[in-house]
A and B are shown apart, each in its own frame.
Chain A
Amino acid sequence: MLGRTLREVSAALKQGQITPTELCLKCLSLIKKTKFLNAYITVSEEVALKQAEESEKRYKKGYVPPYNATVVQKLLDQGALLMGKTNLDEFAMGALGSDTGGSTRNPAAHCGVVGLKPSYGLVSRHGLIPLVNSMDVPGILTRCVDDAATVLGVLAGHDCKDSTTVQDPVKSFILPSLTDVSKLCIGIPKEYLVPELSSEVQSLWSKAAKLFESEGAKVIEVSLPHTSYSIVCYHVLCTSEVASNMARFDGLEYGHRCDINVSTEAMYAATRREGFNDVVRGRILSGNFFLLKENYENYFIKAQKVRRLIANDFVNVFNSGVDVLLTPTTLSEAVPYMEFIKEDNRTRSAQGDIFTQAVNMAGLPAVSVPMALSNQGLPIGLQFIGRAFCDQQLLTVAKWFEKQVQFPVIQLQEIMGDCSSVFENDLASVSLKQ
């Protein structure tokens, strides 16, 4: 049951093959068994079971339904159960992700799941703790593209509580099953072929391009000339907005507050030092530097201008007849922890986000679809980038691709039966049942 798609599970619930409480208990059980993966920070077991109870009541009678984020409320309104808060960056949302520079797509690629970043303005950010208001989008993590489309269908639409959501009525997100890709034009941005790209990913990228070509699609090389500036541009804009967004964390109205009583300033300084980790503090200090009167023009305004150029790169490419861009999502498979911590966060972000953050700066929709396992047995995904507000077209292409590559989706509960005692801290290779 847990390996089924959302649609299948929903149907099963409606038909009474399984009750909400039973499903909930299964999920909770699996969470417990995979505790070593540390995927969940908080498991709201009681809340989940209570919601399951209420869901059961709703199945029995027609029911229309108190600070919930709009996207959470929309899911709850559709009968979803919130299992808990998952282990993401300290400022990210839970069961849904958030994508500011790739933080939904990157983990999706590393974990072999689908990670969707919708078009900016399509999904409400009300309730999403903001990192970079002009780039944040709620991200959707699912097992398959169809599920991502289903969730997007629930979440998309104007929210009067979020003035940056578009007012146009939202089209349906039911995905057709594409059989003929001959009318499709796939763009391969040449600037994305960087030396740091692992050979495995590069080869999968090539393979994917050839796959489209062999099925009749037009696959062409395109150029996004300002790509090399995007990391630096992103860094300036991101830290500037972070510095601004974090100004509210002073311990007065909510959250951590230290005991210093000497003066307001002293209390603020100590609270913020204690409450923020190094990465966040670093970003705040950088951001404030860029926003100083004497620096604003040279850094912030300049970065906004470069951002415009980057966004225009994409516009030009799409205007030349390209429907969807195909790029890697990450430079390589997931790097082992000991390897990862050798570089500081800023370097890692710069490297990790290289393919994903230009998309956020341009506000475009993008999805990472798992393609194959690496030689080490770790997932590798590729990214599709679409035109603004053409999320349905993007997902249609992604769905076709998903069907072609038949990625071996992990079936956790079956593994658990075999090797629950084996795993400790390392993510060792996993033998999978196809």
Chain B
Amino acid sequence: MAAPVLRWCCPARRWILANIDRGPRHGRGAPTGSRSSGKRGQSSVAQQPLVTAQKPRKGEHQWAAVVGLEIHAQISSNSKLFSGSQVHFAAPPNSLVSFFDASLPGTLPVLNRRCVEAAVMTGLALNCHINKKSLFDRKHYFYADLPAGYQITQQRLPIAVKGSLAYSVCVGKKRSQVINKTVRIKQIQLEQDSGKSLHDDLRSQTLIDLNRAGVGLLEVVLEPDMSCGEEAATAVRELQLILQALGTSQANMAEGQLRVDANISVHRPGEPLGVRTEVKNLNSARFLAKAIDYEIQRQIEELENGGEILNETRSFDYKLGCTVPMRDKEGKQDYRFIPEPNLPPLLLYDSASLPAGADPQQVINIDQLREQLPELPSVTREKLVQQYGMLPEHSLTLLNEVGLLEFFQNVMKETRAEPKKVTSWVLNTFLGFLKQQNLAVSESPVTPSALAELLNLLDQKAISSAAAKKVFEELWRSGGKTPAQIVSEKRLELMQDQEALEQLCQATMEEHPQVVMDLKKGNPRAINKLIGLVRKATLSRADPTMIKEMLEKQLSS
């Protein structure tokens, strides 16, 4: 990748332009500082290589980066925002297009109730003020995937404003320190999605698929309160979780249901904000943070070298790993906004203002929707911490990994083991194996039941921890067998026979009189040596704690 190595210290929000590994020109090459294998970490958020902050050298300037986001989430609904055609992913091209979607003259928009409810619910979940009156506008530009030559959106008065999104970043050596952050939500608006263009360069033609044209979108505008790629990516992940919990959007980036544009600028602390660029269509969770950080770095370098930043639109080239200017338009785009004359103002009610005798089919009651809001991720995480005594960062990981929470809860149902043990096994062992093989939870060869059974065996002290790990490995590999079967096959049972163990302890001590003498002299390490010897003798089938107890008992007698 041609991307320069990035070095920074979040969350102090200051960018240090240290040595960049550019080649022979620089005296020393910067260490890559990457501890991650690239496959570790949350699958939906790019895990940043951990770099310890360097002390600023003389002559180096500090920079602050400012990142704002415009996030488009496709509303999960049966039909489109203003027409009755269906919403489906990957349907045959142009098979879900109504007359209105194709902009046939004479067709008129009719507002989809479900989409309005989705917007209100999302606004409530994000602590927004819901505008009881909001308006629709036309935003004009010519493009082949926009049949009407304009998009219906909410520019003047959107449906929700002034909210906030709380998210947590993990920092520190082991990413164990959880820092809570907030980003302000400027507004949420309802708008139409456009169709899709498929460029066929070979035949110099562009193919248009209008299946997506007119699908309802929620545009969520995040104020520039973020300062680096990781914060942005984490905020996006949290928004995804909220939308999924609400059911208002499936927010799957791979399927194009969640698309992110970033507004990025840099400035020296204390000085006014710099010129910003817009990086469009960041549609991959993995590259979101990378792209933003690249752009920040690019701007810093440009300014350091005496250049200037153009207020332009850029896109992220995934192959090259850098942002590139999009095809430049002559002059700035004037969208010639006009109120949408075919849609009256959208009026919402609450219990106090609901007109008497109103047809429930025709009105939306904000209070009613508020009461029906499902549990939000932050509440789920809090409950996990309370119920199971787990650390906040663990609850974060559990929710961040798709399907992991459910897996955990299923294991909990079937095991008597302590929650802390279960947490540790799920987050470390289980997740570790998944990441190593780049698998999703749904693709795991180990079922919750299997893990639960294994943990039960461990809990009963039928096997040792070491043995349990071996069993797990085997479970992963073979899939079909039960833990009990594996334990039996590999003879991993802990020695239950107290007498036999006592005899072994005795025998070991007799065989190693020097160690015993060391021990009696007060050497603390001697006991561990003894335990180790006994363990070896038992072929690791004895619990070290038990061995220690027995040895001490025998020694003291």
Report A's interface with B, CB cutoff 8 A: 67, 69, 125-130, 132-134, 160-164, 167, 240-241, 243-250, 252-254, 261, 264-265, 268, 288, 291-293, 296, 300
Contact = CB atoms under 8 A, between A and B. Distances in A.
Interface stretch (B262-270, B340-348, B386-394, B461-469): B340-348
Nearest to A121: B344
B142 A163 contact: no
A260 B52 CA distance: 58
A250 B149 contact: yes
A249 B111 CA distance: 24
A160 B362 CA distance: 12
A128 B148 contact: no
Given A164-B344, A244-B150, A247-B140, A67 B337 contact: no
A129 B105 CA distance: 5
Given A254-B102, A293-B334, A247 B341 contact: no
Contact of B148 (A162, A241, A247, A265): A247
B538 to A, nearest CB: 77
9 contacts: A67-B106, A161-B110, A164-B108, A244-B149, A248-B105, A253-B104, A264-B206, A268-B142, A292-B334
A246 B103 CA distance: 11
A248 B99 contact: no
B144 interface: yes
Given A248-B105, A250-B144, 14 more contacts: A126-B107, A161-B108, A162-B108, A162-B342, A244-B338, A246-B149, A247-B140, A250-B142, A250-B149, A252-B208, A265-B142, A291-B140, A291-B336, A292-B334
Nearest to B343: A163
Task: Please give me the 7 A-B residue pairs with the lowest Cβ-Cβ distance, nearest first.
Answer: A247-B149, A133-B341, A291-B336, A248-B103, A134-B341, A127-B106, A129-B105
Contacts, number: 94
B105 A163 contact: no
Contacts of A247: 140, 142, 148-150
A248 B147 contact: yes
B338 A291 contact: yes
Given A163-B342, A291-B337, A264 B144 contact: yes
Interface in B187-215: 204, 206, 208
A130 B337 contact: no
B276 interface: no
A352 B453 CA distance: 89
A310 to B, nearest CB: 17
Nearest to B208: A252
A254 B104 contact: yes
A241 B149 contact: no
Contacts of B102: 253-254
Please classify the interface of chain A as helix (H, G, I), strand (E, B), loop, or mixed, using the class held by over half of its residues. loop
Interface of B: 99, 102-111, 138, 140, 142-144, 147-150, 204, 206, 208, 334, 336-338, 341-344, 362
A173 B343 CA distance: 27
Contacts of B343: 163
B109 A163 contact: yes
Contacts of A126: 106-108
B500 to A, nearest CB: 84
Nearest to A162: B108
Nearest to B98: A67
A241 B341 contact: yes
B144 A163 contact: no
A243 B111 CA distance: 23
B334 to A, nearest CB: 5
A248 B149 contact: yes
B149 A67 contact: no
A389 B403 CA distance: 58
Nearest to B82: A163
A291 to B, nearest CB: 4
A250 B103 CA distance: 10
A426 B471 CA distance: 102
Nearest to B138: A244
A299 to B, nearest CB: 11
A240 B402 CA distance: 49
A133 B108 CA distance: 10
Contacts of B108: 125-126, 161-164
Nearest to B103: A248
Contacts of B111: 163
Nearest to A293: B334
B211 to A, nearest CB: 14
B332 to A, nearest CB: 9
A130 B105 CA distance: 7
